Amino acid sequence: MGEKNCWEKVVVITELIMGRELMLQLQKHFDPMKQDVCQYLAVEILSSYDKALSLLNGTALSGMMSKGKQCFNPAPSSSTDKLQSPQLLADCSTKSCDRPSNSRKRKKIARRTEYVQARTGEEVPPEDGYSWRKYGQKDILGAKYPREYYRCARRGLSNCAATKIVQKSETEPSVFEVTYGGSHGCGQENKNQNEEQPLVLTQEQLRVVLTEETQYHEVGRAGEISESHFPKMVSTPNSTSFNNSSTGVVFSNSNSLFNITNSDFISTPTSSPRSDRNFSNDDFIYGPGNDSNLLLNDTSLTRLTALLDDVPENCSHTYRGVHQHP
DNA sequence: GTTATTTGACCGTG
DNA sequence: CACGGTCAAATAAC
């Protein structure tokens, strides 16, 4: 295969992967209340597929490689993406598939791009669970908004190579294009890595319950539960039982009641506790002790999320006692 | 005084 | 040589 064809193949693969990635994000964000994000992602997805198709049809590459975001991105992959595209593309770009006439290339770092929407009233992308330190900002040619450069805040301590580039979308200012590079070699845990993953609680964690006074800081998106959803809770007596016939956790607002029982969870006896959630001791739902972990099942997650999303921002709620009745 | 951010300069890549 | 990514001194915030 000639160099040009190989390069085009890389671009096709990149565009297809990008399209898949964007579709995953669209699926994740799908919510009638977030039409702007969905619309934006739909445009990007169509663009990726159009480009790939034009290449497969033999259309020249001209014009495709001129614009930054559409240029070769060696790793358009989400954190949850199952495709090993970064490696595939990196290998191809550093071996026989090098672009013509270039031996000294800047080291390609696996990157993935995500599109995130700012919370209402804010002009910054929501926190992603990691600590970042800004190290630069640059006006990009032809771009309406500057690009901001961040690196892991623990870089100095542990040579962590993780970086993040944030740029506001030109077409949808509430949407940010966030490009992650490198990986966290610092051991830093993602504090709110909850998308696409059910909440995981150890049974030991389920021992806690109910808070005396709680303040919601924000309301997360439907379909996911952000860490801030969870109020501080006080511990129930260790004798609290979570067998199938008893109710152990009650989560309520003024209109609704959510009782968490064993049937709301999927037991995962052999998995280790989630290390990517960084709950503090006073963070909440802890349960009766044995070593197995619990995943909140989809139905229960939806119920709880709906309940939580029904809570206005910054309102306080008081939770008292533990419902032991069925 | 310490830590975080800003911003102009520098440098590698294409 | 233009551009984007990074560095590091200056500045701001705490």
How many percent of chain A have pLDDT more than 90?
Answer: 4
End-to-end CA distance of chain A: give it in Å, rounded. 68
Q: Are A214 and A317 within 8 A, CB to CB?
A: yes
Rounded-to-integer distance, Cα A207 and Cα A205, Å: 5
CA of A135 to C1' of C8 (A): 10
Chain C nucleotides with an atom closer than 7 Å to a protein C-beta: 2-8
Residue A14: what pLDDT?
64
Q: What does the pLDDT average to over A11-20?
A: 68
Residue A244: what pLDDT?
28
Which phi and psi angles does A8 have, rounded to 5°?
Answer: -65, -40
Asked if pLDDT for residue A3 goes beyond 90, the answer is no
Asked if pLDDT for residue A264 goes beyond 80, the answer is no
Q: Which tokens is A49 given?
A: 């597929």
Check whether residue A142 has its CB closer than 7 Å to nucleic acid strand C.
yes
Query: Tell me: the pLDDT tens digits for A34-88?
Result: 666 666 667 667 666 666 665 565 443 333 333 333 333 333 333 333 223 333 3
Check whether residue A118 has its CB closer than 7 Å to nucleic acid strand C.
no
How many percent of chain A have pLDDT more than 70?
Answer: 23
Give the lowest-confidence range in A89-98, A161-170, A232-241, A287-296: A232-241
Q: Which of residues 220-259 of A touch strand C (CB under 7 A)?
A: none
Residue A165: what pLDDT?
92
Asked if pLDDT for residue A132 goes beyond 80, the answer is yes
Taking the C1' atom of every nucleotide in all shown strands and the CA of A103, the nearest one is B13
Residue A136: what pLDDT?
92
Q: What does the pLDDT average to over A266-284?
A: 33
Q: Which tokens is A111 given?
A: 């990157």
CA of A35 to C1' of B3 (A): 40
Check whether residue A133 has its CB closer than 7 Å to nucleic acid strand B.
yes
Chain B nucleotides with an atom closer than 7 Å to a protein C-beta: 4-9, 12-14
Q: What does the pLDDT average to over A84-95?
A: 32
Residue A116: what pLDDT?
79
Rounded-to-integer distance, Cα A324 and Cα A71, Å: 59
Nearest Cα to Cα of residue A94 among A66, A74, A122, A64: A74
CA of A24 to C1' of C5 (A): 28
Check whether residue A67 has its CB closer than 7 Å to nucleic acid strand B.
no
Check whether residue A315 has its CB closer than 7 Å to nucleic acid strand C.
no
Supply the Cα-derived Rg of chain A in whole angstroms: 23
Asked if pLDDT for residue A258 goes beyond 90, the answer is no
Give the lowest-confidence range in A98-107, A135-144, A251-260, A313-322: A313-322
Residue ranges of alpha helices (H) inside chain A are: 3-29, 35-56, 85-94, 155-158, 298-309
Q: Are A245 and A227 within 8 A, CB to CB?
A: no
Check whether residue A217 has its CB closer than 7 Å to nucleic acid strand B.
no
Cβ count near A52 (within 10 Å)? 19
Q: Which tokens is A131 given?
A: 């600590």
Check whether residue A101 has its CB closer than 7 Å to nucleic acid strand B.
no
Asked if pLDDT for residue A147 goes beyond 90, the answer is yes
Asked if pLDDT for residue A267 goes beyond 50, the answer is no
Taking the C1' atom of every nucleotide in all shown strands and the CA of A148, the nearest one is C5
Residue A124: what pLDDT?
75
For residue A223, is it left (φ>0), alpha (ψ between -120 and 50) or beta? left
Check whether residue A161 has its CB closer than 7 Å to nucleic acid strand C.
no
Taking the C1' atom of every nucleotide in all shown strands and the CA of A65, the nearest one is B14
For residue A317, is it left (φ>0), alpha (ψ between -120 and 50) or beta? beta
Enclosing H/E stretch for A239: none
Rounded-to-integer distance, Cα A178 and Cα A183, Å: 14
Query: Tell me: the pLDDT tens digits for A177-214?
Result: 888 887 776 766 565 544 433 233 333 332 332 222 22
Check whether residue A155 has its CB closer than 7 Å to nucleic acid strand C.
no
CA of A138 to C1' of B8 (A): 11
Query: Tell me: the pLDDT tens digits for A211-248?
Result: 222 222 222 222 233 333 332 222 222 222 232 222 23
Asked if pLDDT for residue A100 goes beyond 90, the answer is no
When pLDDT is cut at 50, 70 and 90, the band that residue A135 belongs to is very high
Mean pLDDT, chain A, whole residue set: 51
